[in-house]
Amino acid sequence: MCLFKHVKDTLKAEKATLNTKDARNPIETIRCPHVDCPEHEMIFDYFVQFLQRNIKESIDGHVNRPIKEKNFAKDAKTFSELERVVFYEDLTFEKKVRLLSIPTIDRIRHFLTDLFTFTTVKAETIVYQIIILRRFMKYSQWSLRAANWRSLIITSLRVALKLEQNLVVSTKVLSHVYPLFKPEEYVKCENAFLKILNWDLWVSTEQYMAQLSSALRTKPSA
């Protein structure tokens, strides 16, 4: 219960501060740097390969229309980037096509590197993030898609950082890192993520060790 209260309290506090003015550059308030150790790199590489295997198309190639998730349809739209990309004026047509296509392993690696650079991510937090992301996919029966994987990665990371490291990453900072979503939209994503999980955030030692073992057995990606 204490675990859930902590996450709820941080969400409530964020909602209260979203409309306040902050004279500081949000990026300057982040304590970094990317943890550089062999185990961290192996877990990072495992995550990259996991995403590459699981991200699917967002557009049905036969009928040329968006693929809609049957379960939690309203929540699926919260995470979707389709309309955001189409109507985002600062993106070129080529950039929009690239964002809505299945990413290459290099693009996945680049996105995660940029994201983790702005957060103090420990190796064990990435393991926890992978576990709750897998659990979310099971509960929702969604696929990771070209138009939702980034928002789901950001949201699962925010939850994992709160629970594993007691660290709250500002939604204003995330909007600098990935500006397709506004700060208040990241809060909505987290609320939807936790609702679909039914607040099932507990990870046992056995679950953690099993996931860690899988990650440390992974061969480096080419």
CB atoms within 10 A of CB 110: 13
Mean pLDDT in residue range 35-43:
73
Whether residue 55 is predicted with pLDDT greater than 80 in this model: the reply is yes
The residue among 41, 46, 56 whose CA lies nearest residue 219 is 46
HSE at residue 65, side-chain half, CA atoms within 13 A, is: 3
Confidence of residue 20 (pLDDT cuts 50, 70, 90): very low
Instruction: Convert the pLDDT of each residue in 148-206 to its tens digit.
Output: 999 999 999 999 999 888 888 888 888 888 888 888 999 999 999 999 999 999 999 99
Higher-confidence residue of 47 and 21: namely 47
Confidence of residue 76 (pLDDT cuts 50, 70, 90): confident
Residue-wise pLDDT for 82-121, tens only, equals 877 877 777 788 878 888 889 999 999 999 998 888 777 8
- Adjacent-strand bridge partners of 60: 65
Phi-psi region of 122 (alpha: psi -120 to 50; beta: other; left: phi over 0): beta
Region of 64 (left: φ > 0; alpha: ψ -120 to 50; beta: rest) is: left
Q: Give the per-residue pLDDT at 61.
A: 59
**For position 26, what pLDDT does the model report?**
31
Q: What is the DSSP code (8-state) at residue 60?
A: E
Question: With 60 as the cut, is the pLDDT of residue 16 above it?
Answer: no
pLDDT of residue 82: 82
C-alpha to C-alpha distances, 69 to 74, 86, 98, 143, nearest whole angstrom: 9, 19, 22, 8
The pLDDT of residue 28 is: 32
Strands 65-66 and 59-60: antiparallel
pLDDT at residue number 64: 60
Question: Token pair of 206, please?
Answer: 């056995």
Q: pTM higher than 0.85, yes or no?
A: no
pLDDT of amino acid 50: 94
Q: Is 71 helix (H, G, I), strand (E, B) or coil?
A: coil
**Mean pLDDT computed over 25-42:** 50
> To which residue do tokens 């943890």 refer?
35
Q: Where do we find the tokens 């699962």?
A: 156
- Taking the C-alpha atoms of residue 173 and residue 183, their distance in angstroms, rounded to an integer, is 8
First to last CA, the chain: 43
Please give the residue that has the higher pLDDT: either 55 or 84: 55
